[in-house]
């Protein structure tokens, strides 16, 4: 059994009106017409809800939605989660409708990161058009992108994703400590059952928002450059300048979005045939660029 793709991400946010503008005018996502004052459902493609932002008291990750291929795969992962000792709560029909999925269950990983497993997409639409003129988001069978989650208990959490959830290892990256006497940084990249280099990565440090970053991948460098222009014109801070990663070859920048949620915006991510793939171990993050930009006080 293996996980198919990253299907959706749900965040809670303290300022939905800022998200509405940021999501549509800056990131170029399309707002589904079912959105209201409590919930924004952003589209990247024919799926009615890829990024769901709900009004809340905190700016935080609420759930990562992992897609499984069909009902049998879904029932198998629910059983496997229960057998592993994870708490699993079955979602109801209203919750499934809110996510535009056939059925889902709620759980958490070994670091406490909330996630959901689901199968089936409902309410597909074929009228995607980016309000900011983004040509195409790279989705399809590869899902909405990738997400990086905090996991200070790295070994235990990594083992959970590979042995229970059905992820495969892509790369194990170690970088120098961010400060003297701090531990080295370790990021473990894992792939789902699709060609995207990684759908999930774990980072061995805690993060207040519960999410290190998520990526929106587009099909051209011009869409990356145009988005960078929009970000800078609107006055949003960068978390990292433009650069190209070594392991997934992504050319991207990172913006600090509403509520401190970091979003990577990139193109040219590596797509891999996993048959005969040997997971890599690396110590270099970037070919060029990706200079960290310290937050402005």
Q: Which residue number, 10 or 252, has a Cβ lying nearer to Fe ion? A: 252
CB 55 within 8 A of CB 37: yes
Q: Which residue number, 30 or 173, has a Cβ lying nearer to Fe ion? A: 173
Only segment of 20-28, 120-128, 210-218, 233-241 that touches Fe ion (CB under 5 A): 210-218
- The least CB distance from residue 34 to Fe ion, in Å, is 29
- The least CB distance from residue 201 to Fe ion, in Å, is 7
- The least CB distance from residue 215 to Fe ion, in Å, is 5
CB 205 within 8 A of CB 152: yes
Q: Which residue number, 98 or 211, has a Cβ lying nearer to Fe ion? A: 211
- The least CB distance from residue 216 to Fe ion, in Å, is 10
Give the per-residue contact string, 239-278, with Fe ion (x = CB under 5 A; - = no).
Answer: -------------------------x--------------
- The least CB distance from residue 179 to Fe ion, in Å, is 22
CB 105 within 8 A of CB 158: no
Q: Which residue number, 100 or 170, has a Cβ lying nearer to Fe ion? A: 170
- Nearest residue to Fe ion by CB is 264
- The least CB distance from residue 196 to Fe ion, in Å, is 11
List binders of Fe ion among 212-231 (CB under 5 A): 215
Binding-residue total with Fe ion (CB under 5 A): 2
Q: Which residue number, 107 or 194, has a Cβ lying nearer to Fe ion? A: 194
Q: Does 116 bind Fe ion (CB under 5 A)?
A: no
Q: Which residue number, 116 or 264, has a Cβ lying nearer to Fe ion? A: 264
CB 53 within 8 A of CB 39: yes
Binding site for Fe ion (CB under 5 A): 215, 264
């Amino acid at each position: 059994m293996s996980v198919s793709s990253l299907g959706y991400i749900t965040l809670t946010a303290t300022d939905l009106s800022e998200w509405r503008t940021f999501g549509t005018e800056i990131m170029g996502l399309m707002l589904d017409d079912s959105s209201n004052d409590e919930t924004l459902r952003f589209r990247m493609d024919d799926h009615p809800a890829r990024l769901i932002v709900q009004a809340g008291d905190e700016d935080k990750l609420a759930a990562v939605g992992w897609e499984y291929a069909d009902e049998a795969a879904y029932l198998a992962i629910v059983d496997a989660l229960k057998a592993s000792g994870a708490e699993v709560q079955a979602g109801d029909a209203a919750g499934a409708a809110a996510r535009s999925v056939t059925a889902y269950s709620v759980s958490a990983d070994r670091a406490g990161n909330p996630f959901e497993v689901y199968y089936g997409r409902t309410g597909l639409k074929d009228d995607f058009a980016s309000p900011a003129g983004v040509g195409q988001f790279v989705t399809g069978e590869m899902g909405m992108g990738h997400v990086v989650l905090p996991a200070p208990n790295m070994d235990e959490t990594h083992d959970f994703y590979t042995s229970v959830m059905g992820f495969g290892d892509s790369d194990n990256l170690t970088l120098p400590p961010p400060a003297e006497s701090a531990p080295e940084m370790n990021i473990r990249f894992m792939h789902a059952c699709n060609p995207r280099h990684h759908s999930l990565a774990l980072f061995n440090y805690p993060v207040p928002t519960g999410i290190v970053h998520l990526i929106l991948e587009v099909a051209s460098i011009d869409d990356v450059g145009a988005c960078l222009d929009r970000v800078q014109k609107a006055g949003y801070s960068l978390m990292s300048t433009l650069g190209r990663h070594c392991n997934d070859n992504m050319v991207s920048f990172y913006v600090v979005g509403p509520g401190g949620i970091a979003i990577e915006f990139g193109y040219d991510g590596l797509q891999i045939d996993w048959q005969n793939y040997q997971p890599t171990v690396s110590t270099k993050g970037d070919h060029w660029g990706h200079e960290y930009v310290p937050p402005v006080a």
